Amino acid sequence: MAGTATKPGRTSVDQATAEQYRQWLRQMLLVRRFEEKTGEAYSLGKIGGFCHLYIGQEAVAVGTLASLRADDYITASYREHGQALVRGISPR
């Protein structure tokens, strides 16, 4: 990705600061912890139906959304928990 141009408001890896890397890590950990708790609740019968977890794909949500502007739209139809959390939806 080095040397690639990005549009205003977007971040490429070669433009990221140490704080941005920490923020991405915090977001990935938030998604992972949310999914772990969701899996626990599902196995206890607190969630009905199917439960398709996002575990192992946290970097996909964080990396994809880091490349977008705040006013860009996203559409997710399956395992969208990660994208929603990274976009700022409360895990509660």
The tens-digit pLDDT sequence of the chain (92 residues) is: 444 444 555 556 677 899 999 999 999 999 999 999 999 999 999 999 999 999 999 999 999 999 998 888 888 778 888 999 998 889 88
Half-sphere exposure in the Cβ direction for 47 (13 Å, CA)? 12
State which residues form the domain around 76: 17-86
Residue 45 domain flag: yes
Q: How many domains does the chain have?
A: 1
Query: Is 0.75 surpassed by the pTM of this model?
Result: yes
Residue 92 domain flag: no
Residue 3 domain flag: no
Count the helices and strands in the chain (H runs, E runs): 3, 0
1 SS3 class: coil
Residue 59 domain flag: yes
Residue 12 domain flag: no
State how far the Cα of 12 lies from the Cα of 3, in Å rounded to an integer.
9
Residue 9 domain flag: no
Residue 4 domain flag: no
